[in-house]
């Protein structure tokens, strides 16, 4: 029947169809369906009233179940994202530290010794902090030795391979395995406080540093972010907006309300709250929430007069945080509305019966009269109808023209559809372009701020907040220049803003102030946004160049040290030339005299003695140069054995007592102090190198002492673990400003050719290096014009294996 009617009306004029339809259908419907419809509506309403209420409850339960699960999923997602951000942060920090160490190593590996380079890298990383000072870097060797740990400085130099977490996991071993296997990676472990039973999960990221067989690491407590995450989630849940009948609640297991649509309940303990029938609704809510899949709770009325709660709620526990999350609806208003609607419909049905009876009679009379009139005006109404559909094109809903049978309606449908399609295309293209900009803006690695021509903030990206600490709320409407500049840079910022306001591109390297007051080095590139030839906003890009500035400073310092080293070496070479020429001139001069002239035997003996002394001085100079060269290149061979300190000192006494007399310093008193017997003065060391070390110190003491005493000997420390040898004089002393550089290579207090005392300045450097090679250390005390005392500390009666191992580790390798 439907097909036949559609074919009859296909492409027919609406006026003709309307004429026939109105006559036939109006009369038929009014007569046939009038009374039948009234009866059906009454029965249908009765049935549907019950179904509507039943379906509503069913649908609401399904909706509440979904909403509760959505909140659970939201919490899980926020936790996961925060953990991922934490991992990303610590890996980024370790990569930054590794880059600093790598750059320092590459820059100074040919200029500094390994020990000095290690200290330079350790000092550079020790001072680095982040996360308000709680974040730091630690460095361990691949053998488990702690190189540097700012949180546990007492661990330095100790082997911590046996260190385990609260569950017995070997922390250092896991980190070494990760570093050596993949080069870098994350490790997880749990740490327990000494004064409590609480266990804190931690994440660390380590990365191998191959030049020294180290790995650099950083660790963070996961729990540090827990409170912040919870507060952020609760704020977001509280700020969700629904209609008055919908409720969201987060209740802790002890009954404290953490979040609620009614904010007045937040923070209150609702454990003993009761509904109208004195049911403890919150206790039931928590109990049902802790079931495996949660459950529904019904309440008859409000509790404690705090606020109206939903009559139907779904509760589900989030056990990790001891929360019960619920969503609910208030059925009271729904029931009132349904009852009211029932009464209205009953009244309407009764009125409809009366009106339908009257209309039935009148319709038959008037339908024939008005049919022709309606047909006449239908065409004029179609114009209004068509315009209506044109206006309706603002709604993105297409008309299915295949369902239209009238020619006029098809034309209107095609027109409306074409308008909607065109608008959809334009909206789609606009959405794509907007998405491109938003993604580029938010994910840019540079900090970006968009301001108006008066520097008032419009929009900033995430990197801007990360760099300066200001949020979008802080920047909105505020003068950005006043936030980022101090007194010294305000005028500069004004000039920069004025330049960009004129439509010109501007670039500048300067300092800007963070929210916490810290000044950082940045490069700024400002680009005006121009529309129709007028600057409407400014696009500012900020790049953090702090590391580059620090690197430039390091380069300046390295250049200064290199220039200083060149000057020292030049002074050393000039001094060396002088020291070589002097004995050589003596040797050549006196040799010429002895071979070219007739001289007396007495003079010949004196000249021969001077030639011998000059040769000895020249030989000693060459030996010092060779020794220093061997020490610097680590080619000195150490032959430790049990040696008697008393014998070494006696040999030195006999040697220098004779030497001072030959050097016209017989008036000086040479004193030797030997407090132990020969058997008790035996130590395990290289006797030849120890004698060389002490000889340099005694030779220096005689050289720089014109009157008084030179005393040398030894003493034991209180624990008798070290023997401390000393050389003391009453000479000219050393000024305080030169004491720190006295053991450095190529340095002398007086490096001029006209200086009073000869020498190359290598003796003390060699002595210092020899003390380290022998497993000891050297220090001095000096007062100008009163004298100097050098102290050399060595292990006393240490085991052979210990000394040999120490020498091997620190030097021979």
Cα 464 off chain centre by: 15
Please, which pLDDT band fits residue 576 given cuts at 50, 70 and 90? low
Do residues 94 and 206 make contact, with C-beta atoms less than 8 angstroms apart?
yes
Please, which pLDDT band fits residue 564 given cuts at 50, 70 and 90? low
Q: Is the dihedral of CA 106, 108, 114, 119 positive or negative?
A: negative
3-state secondary structure of 580: helix
Do residues 207 and 179 make contact, with C-beta atoms less than 8 angstroms apart?
yes
Do residues 775 and 713 make contact, with C-beta atoms less than 8 angstroms apart?
no
Rounded CA gap, 704 and 749, in Å? 12
- The strand order across the sheet containing 506-513 reads 457-460, 447-451, 534-544, 519-531, 506-513
746's torsion region: left (phi>0), alpha (psi -120 to 50) or beta?
A: left
Q: What is the DSSP letter of 307?
A: B
Do residues 168 and 174 make contact, with C-beta atoms less than 8 angstroms apart?
no
The neighbouring-strand residues paired with 217 are 138, 206
Please, which pLDDT band fits residue 812 given cuts at 50, 70 and 90? very low
Is the model's pTM score more than 0.85?
no
Do residues 281 and 297 make contact, with C-beta atoms less than 8 angstroms apart?
yes
Do residues 702 and 665 make contact, with C-beta atoms less than 8 angstroms apart?
yes
pLDDT tens digits for 611-664?
776 776 677 667 767 766 667 666 677 889 999 999 999 999 998 988 888 777
pLDDT tens digits for 526-550?
888 888 778 888 888 888 888 888 8
Rounded CA gap, 716 and 713, in Å? 11
- Residues whose CB falls within 8 Å of the CB of residue 669, separated by 6 or more in sequence, listed in order: 708, 709, 710
Q: What is the DSSP letter of 479?
A: B
Q: Highest mean pLDDT: which of 4-18, 32-46, 292-306, 594-608?
A: 594-608
| Whole-number pLDDT of residue 615 | 76
Q: Is the dihedral of CA 733, 736, 742, 746 positive or negative?
A: negative
Rounded CA gap, 61 and 312, in Å? 8
Reply yes or no on whether the pLDDT at 216 is more than 90. Answer: yes
> Backbone phi, then psi, for 770, in 5-degree steps?
-65, -35
| Whole-number pLDDT of residue 590 | 74
| Whole-number pLDDT of residue 568 | 58
Reply yes or no on whether the pLDDT at 242 is more than 90. Answer: no
| Whole-number pLDDT of residue 648 | 93
Reply yes or no on whether the pLDDT at 744 is more than 80. Answer: no
| Whole-number pLDDT of residue 791 | 94
Q: Higher-confidence residue: 491 or 134?
A: 491
Tokens of 718: 């209180």
Reply yes or no on whether the pLDDT at 716 is more than 80. Answer: yes
Three-state helix/strand/coil letters over 227-293? HHHHHHHHHHHHCCCCCCCEEEEEEECCCEEEEECCHHHCCCECCCCCCCCCCCHHHHHHHHHCCCC
Q: What mean pLDDT is reported for the chain? A: 77
Task: List Cα–Cα distances, 354 to 28, 344, 346, 347, in angstroms.
Answer: 19, 16, 13, 11
| Whole-number pLDDT of residue 341 | 67
Reply yes or no on whether the pLDDT at 759 is more than 60. Answer: no
| Whole-number pLDDT of residue 602 | 77
Q: Which of 423-437, 449-463, 765-779 is predicted with the least confidence, judged by mean pLDDT? A: 423-437
Reply yes or no on whether the pLDDT at 555 is more than 80. Answer: yes
Residue with tokens 């680009």: 527
pLDDT tens digits for 349-395?
677 677 767 776 777 677 667 666 655 555 554 544 455 455 655 56
Rounded CA gap, 200 and 256, in Å? 25
Q: Higher-confidence residue: 389 or 72?
A: 72
> Backbone phi, then psi, for 640, in 5-degree steps?
-70, 145
Cα 365 off chain centre by: 87
CB-based contacts of 59-65 (< 8 A; 24+ apart in sequence):
60/312, 60/329, 61/296, 61/312, 61/314, 63/329, 64/296, 64/312, 64/313, 64/314, 64/327, 64/328, 64/329, 65/294, 65/314
| Whole-number pLDDT of residue 604 | 77
- Residues whose CB falls within 8 Å of the CB of residue 234, separated by 6 or more in sequence, listed in order: 250, 258, 259
Reply yes or no on whether the pLDDT at 1 is more than 60. Answer: no
- Residues whose CB falls within 8 Å of the CB of residue 450, separated by 6 or more in sequence, listed in order: 457, 458, 459, 460, 529, 537, 538, 539, 540
3-state secondary structure of 423: helix
Do residues 553 and 104 make contact, with C-beta atoms less than 8 angstroms apart?
no
Closest CA to 343 of 49, 32, 669: 49
- Residues whose CB falls within 8 Å of the CB of residue 470, separated by 6 or more in sequence, listed in order: 460, 464, 483, 515
pLDDT tens digits for 395-416?
666 666 666 656 666 676 677 6
pLDDT tens digits for 288-331?
778 877 888 877 554 444 444 567 788 888 777 788 888 787 76
Reply yes or no on whether the pLDDT at 710 is more than 90. Answer: yes
Q: Which of 38-47, 134-143, 297-306 is predicted with the least confidence, judged by mean pLDDT? A: 297-306
Rounded CA gap, 767 and 789, in Å? 14
Task: List Cα–Cα distances, 429 to 205, 426, 434, in angstroms.
Answer: 43, 5, 9
| Whole-number pLDDT of residue 305 | 41
| Whole-number pLDDT of residue 800 | 45
Q: What is the DSSP letter of 609?
A: H
| Whole-number pLDDT of residue 810 | 40
Interval 189-195 mean pLDDT: 73
Please, which pLDDT band fits residue 31 given cuts at 50, 70 and 90? low
3-state DSSP percent of the chain in helix, strand and coil, to 5: 55, 20, 25
Closest CA to 640 of 800, 426, 430: 800
Q: Which stretches of 466-625 are assigned E, i.e. beta strand?
A: 506-513, 519-531, 534-544
Q: Higher-confidence residue: 770 or 713?
A: 713
Reply yes or no on whether the pLDDT at 803 is more than 50. Answer: no
3-state secondary structure of 116: helix
3-state secondary structure of 730: coil
Reply yes or no on whether the pLDDT at 516 is more than 80. Answer: yes
Of all residues in the chain, what percent carry a pLDDT higher than 70? 72
Do residues 280 and 297 make contact, with C-beta atoms less than 8 angstroms apart?
no
Reply yes or no on whether the pLDDT at 747 is more than 70. Answer: no
Please, which pLDDT band fits residue 439 given cuts at 50, 70 and 90? confident
> Backbone phi, then psi, for 158, in 5-degree steps?
-100, 150
| Whole-number pLDDT of residue 652 | 92
């Amino acid at each position: 029947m439907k097909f036949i009617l559609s074919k009859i009306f296909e492409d027919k004029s609406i006026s003709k169809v309307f004429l026939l339809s109105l006559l036939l259908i109006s009369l038929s419907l009014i007569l046939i369906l009038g009374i039948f419809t009234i009866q059906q509506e009454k029965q249908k309403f009765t049935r549907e009233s019950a179904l509507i209420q039943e379906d509503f409850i069913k649908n609401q339960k399904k909706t509440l179940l979904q909403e509760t699960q959505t909140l659970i999923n939201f919490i899980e997602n926020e936790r996961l994202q925060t953990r991922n951000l934490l991992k990303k942060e610590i890996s980024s920090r370790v990569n930054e530290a590794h880059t600093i160490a790598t750059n320092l190593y590459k820059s100074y590996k040919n200029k500094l010794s390994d020990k000095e380079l290690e200290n330079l890298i350790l000092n550079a990383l020790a001072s680095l902090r982040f996360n308000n000072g709680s974040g730091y870097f630690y460095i361990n060797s691949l053998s488990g030795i702690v190189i540097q740990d700012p949180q546990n400085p007492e661990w330095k130099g100790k082997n911590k391979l046996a260190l385990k977490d609260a569950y017995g996991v070997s922390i250092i071993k896991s980190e070494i395995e990760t570093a050596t296997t993949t080069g870098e990676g994350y490790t997880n472990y749990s740490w327990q406080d000494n004064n409590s039973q609480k266990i804190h999960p931690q994440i660390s990221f380590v990365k191998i540093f191959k030049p020294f067989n180290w790995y650099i690491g950083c660790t963070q407590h996961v729990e540090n972010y827990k409170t912040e995450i919870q507060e952020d989630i609760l704020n977001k849940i509280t700020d969700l907006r629904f209609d008055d009948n919908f409720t969201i609640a987060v209740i802790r297991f002890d009954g404290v309300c953490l979040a609620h649509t009614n904010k007045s309940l937040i923070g209150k303990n609702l454990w003993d709250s009761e509904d109208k029938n004195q049911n403890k609704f919150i206790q039931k809510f928590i109990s049902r929430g802790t079931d495996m899949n949660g459950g529904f709770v019904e309440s008859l009325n409000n509790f404690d007069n705090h606020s109206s709660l939903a009559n139907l709620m779904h509760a589900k526990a989030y056990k990790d945080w001891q929360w019960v999350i619920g969503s609910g609806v208030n059925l009271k208003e729904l029931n009132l509305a349904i009852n009211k609607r029932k009464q209205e419909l009953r009244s309407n049905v009764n009125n409809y019966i009366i009106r339908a009876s009257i209309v039935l009679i009148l319709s038959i009379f008037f339908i024939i009269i008005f049919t022709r009139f309606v047909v006449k005006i239908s065409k004029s109404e179609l114009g209004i109808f068509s315009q209506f559909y044109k206006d309706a094109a603002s709604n993105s809903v297409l008309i299915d023209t295949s369902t239209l049978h009238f020619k006029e309606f098809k034309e209107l449908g095609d027109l409306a559809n074409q308008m909607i399609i065109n608008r959809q295309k334009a909206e789609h293209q606009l959405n794509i372009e907007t998405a491109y900009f938003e993604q580029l803006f938010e994910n840019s690695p540079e900090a970006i701020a968009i301001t108006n021509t008066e520097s008032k903030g419009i929009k900033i990206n995430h990197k801007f907040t990360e760099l300066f600490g200001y949020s979008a709320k802080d920047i909105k409407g505020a003068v950005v220049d006043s936030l980022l500049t101090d007194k010294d840079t305000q005028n500069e910022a004004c000039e920069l803003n004025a330049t960009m306001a004129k439509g010109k591109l501007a670039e500048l390297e300067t300092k800007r102030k963070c929210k916490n007051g810290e000044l950082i080095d940045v490069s700024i590139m400002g680009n005006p946004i121009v529309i129709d030839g007028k600057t409407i906003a400014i696009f500012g890009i900020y790049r953090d160049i702090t590391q580059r500035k620090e690197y430039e400073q390091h380069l300046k310092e390295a250049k200064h040290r290199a220039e200083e080293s060149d000057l020292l070496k030049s002074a050393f070479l000039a001094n060396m030339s002088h020291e070589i020429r002097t004995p050589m001139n003596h040797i050549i001069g006196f040799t010429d005299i002895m071979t070219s002239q007739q001289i007396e035997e007495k003079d010949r003996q004196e000249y021969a003695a001077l030639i011998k002394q000059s040769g000895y001085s020249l030989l000693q100079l060459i030996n010092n140069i060779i020794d220093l060269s061997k020490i610097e290149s680590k080619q000195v061979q150490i032959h430790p054995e049990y040696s008697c300190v008393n014998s070494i000192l006696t040999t030195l006494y006999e040697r220098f007592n004779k030497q001072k007399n030959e050097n016209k310093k017989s008036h000086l008193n040479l004193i030797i102090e030997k407090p132990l017997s020969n058997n008790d003065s035996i130590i395990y060391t290289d006797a030849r190198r120890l004698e060389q070390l002490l000889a340099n110190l005694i030779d220096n003491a005689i050289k720089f002492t014109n009157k008084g005493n030179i005393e040398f000997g030894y003493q034991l420390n209180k624990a008798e673990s070290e023997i401390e040898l000393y050389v003391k004089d009453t000479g000219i002393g050393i000024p305080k400003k030169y004491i720190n550089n006295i053991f450095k290579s190529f340095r002398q207090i007086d490096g001029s050719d006209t200086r009073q005392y000869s020498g190359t300045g290598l003796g003390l450097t060699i002595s210092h290096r020899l003390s380290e090679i022998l497993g000891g250390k050297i220090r001095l005390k000096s007062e100008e014009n009163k004298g100097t005392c050098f102290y050399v500390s060595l292990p006393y009666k240490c085991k052979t294996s210990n000394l040999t191992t120490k020498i091997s580790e620190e030097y021979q390798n």
